[in-house]
Structure 1
Amino acid sequence: MVNPNSNPQVTRNLAEALQPVMFEAGPEIECVTLAEGPLGVQTQADLESVTIPLSRLVAADNSAHAFVIACYSDPGLHVCREATQRPVFGIAESGVLTALSRGDRFGVIAVAQGSIGRHLRYLRQMCLMDRFAGERPLNMSVAEAASGDDTLARMIKVGRQLKDEDGANAVVMGCAGMSRHRSALEDALGIPVIDPTQAAVSMAIGTVMFQ
């Protein structure tokens, strides 16, 4: 599990969120921080800046059986897949695919308004706009989403808008830094809430275990 931003708090949140998918005799899950990354991947420039460092990391690592890129924009996903024969998962792709199995129409909670255009381009490439209810921002930075005291309250407010106003019956959390709030948010909304990090790691575990 590679956190492509350089914020160690996000990596710690990821490790905490992955506790439910760790089990005795299961694959070891290692969460690492990309030191070369920006503090938060929030712009297209941030996204492009981590592509080659991620590719180098994947190509150089000879111990991992699978990789997960823990950023909702899936930076470098296809470049990393070219760099290794081992499976590489992006949390956005995995999270949306999981949401499609839990509801007819999904919504996404973005960290900031500036992220939404980038996410929409990705959804159009995946040909999923007919199942897309909408995306709304928290208007926070990645660092604030990872450690802010009012993050959950904002997520509940935005999640209710996606559910009640946009018609979403499943919600995807659009940032790896939100991982620790999945259970509480699902309880508050009463509909499935997908942590894309858990979704991607679950797919990776399944792939590794059945090879």
Structure 2
Amino acid sequence: MERTLYVINPNSTQAVTDAFDAGLAPLRVAGGPRIECLTLREGPPGIQTQMDVENVTLPMVRLVQDLDRRHGDAAAGYVIACFSDPGLHAVREATSKPVLGISECGILTAMTLGLRVGVIAILRQSIPRHGRMFGAMGVQGRIAAELPLGLGVVELSDAARTRDRLAEVGRALRDSHQADVLVLGCAGMASYRAWLQEEVGLPVVEPTQAAVGMALGRILLDSAAR
């Protein structure tokens, strides 16, 4: 039985799904679980407010329950590919399969690569929401700072503008806040990870890659124990 890890974009912007789908190519290995990326059609263009987070929670639950019903044990796990981890705990209640959020996994991965974690948000209004999440995780003492690009989800498709802002914000986190590892605070920036790492000379974590890597490990260990 081929097992599938479902990576779900809670916003309705297909370009975001396509971006992290491409970024997961190195994790698609022969003999490993299949990785399928899905877009939540009911979602807003971007998860940019707390209201957006709340509004996608029940649609996410229904989607995961439907995948469980249709695929049974072949649905091996789920990754919520939005840096606000919307619906994470509700979805965990709705399925017995592993459910990972990219924010949680991205921060935990960064903490294995450096002491002071710098987070690159897309919008300033996202920062208090992320801060509440870091507080709930108990990791605020490891967050050097979070700074915004000032670009919306859809605007990330402007590669030249996004690179300029990523370099500027990455250097500010490194030089003004002494961050020694960076986390990209959005699922749509996978194509910039290696470039930014070279540009600022620090490890850079792409959180969807981090979450999928963790999920695959859990699925493979579970399969080996059967």
- Category of TM-score, reference length = shorter chain: over 0.9
Q: Deviation digits for residues 80-99 of structure 1, max 9, x if unmatched? A: 00000000000000000000
Aligned to 2:110: 99
Q: 2:180 aligns to what?
A: 169
- In 2, distance between residues paired with 1:115 and 1:148? 21
Is 1:19 aligned to residue 20 of structure 2? Answer: no
- Whether 2:200 is the aligned partner of 1:200: answer no
Counterpart of 1:59 in structure 2 is 65
Q: 2:49 aligns with which of 36, 43, 47?
A: 43
Q: Contact 1:112 / 1:140 at 8 angstroms: preserved in 2?
A: yes
Q: List per-residue Cα deviations over 1:110-131 (Å, max 9, x = no partner).
A: 0000000000011111111111
Q: Does 1:129 align with 2:140?
A: yes
Structure 2 residue 81 is matched with structure 1 residue 70? yes
Matched, 1:86 2:92: no
Larger-gyration structure (1/2): 2
Q: Does the Cα contact within 8 Å between 1:107 and 1:171 map onto a contact in 2?
A: yes
TM-score w.r.t. the length of structure 1 is: 0.98
Q: Deviations over 1:50-96 (max 9, x none)?
A: 00000111111123200000000000000000000000000000000
Moved over 4 A (4+): none
Deviates more, 1:54-63 or 1:182-191: 54-63
Question: Over residues 97-116 of structure 1, what are the superposed CA-to-partner deviations in whole Å (9 max), with x where a residue is unaligned?
Answer: 00000000101000000000
Q: Which moved more, 1:104-113 or 1:140-149?
A: 140-149
Question: 1:132-211 counterparts in 2 under 5 A?
Answer: 132-211=143-222
Instruction: Tell me which amino acid in the other structure corresponds to 1:184.
Output: W
**Corresponding letter in the other structure for 1:207:** R
Local SS of the residue matching 2:188: helix
CA-CA distance at 1:132 after TM superposition: 0.9
Structure 1 residues 93 and 72, CA gap change in structure 2 (3 angstroms): same
Query: 1:148, CA displacement in angstroms?
Result: 4.3
RMSD: 0.8
TM-fit CA distance, 1:149? 3.2
Inter-partner Cα distance in structure 2 for 1:29 and 1:133:
33
- Runs (5+) with no aligned partner, structure 2: 1-6
The answer to whether structure 1 residue 111 and structure 2 residue 111 are counterparts is no
Q: Percent identity?
A: 48
Structure 1 CA distance, aligned partners of 2:176 and 2:204? 17
Shift of 1:156: 1.0
TM-score normalised by the chain length of structure 2: 0.92
